[in-house]
Amino acid sequence: VNESYTTQTCSYCHKISDSSPKGRAGLRIRGWTCAECGTWHDRDINAAKNILAVGLDRLAVGIPSV
């Protein structure tokens, strides 16, 4: 799982918002509001949702459809 963008990508609309936390300064931010859809995210919870979504995608790819 590439965690580089998980804190920056909106788990609701899946866009990297201009208002999302970035770089070293972003690590201090507890939460942010997506500029695209207006959803408020807790930084850690949003990252967890994105990591989960990536994991589920890989799981779906790994299971051959019969």
Per CB under 5 A, residues contacting Zn ion are 10, 12-13, 34, 36-37
Nearer to Zn ion, 10 or 47 (CB): 10
**Shortest spacing between CB 36 and Zn ion, in angstroms:** 4
| Rounded Cα gap, residues 31 and 50, in angstroms | 15
Nearer to Zn ion, 38 or 55 (CB): 38
**Shortest spacing between CB 17 and Zn ion, in angstroms:** 6
Nearest-Å Rg of the Cα atoms of the chain is 13
* Residue of 37, 38, 43, 35 lying closest to 7 (CA atoms): 43
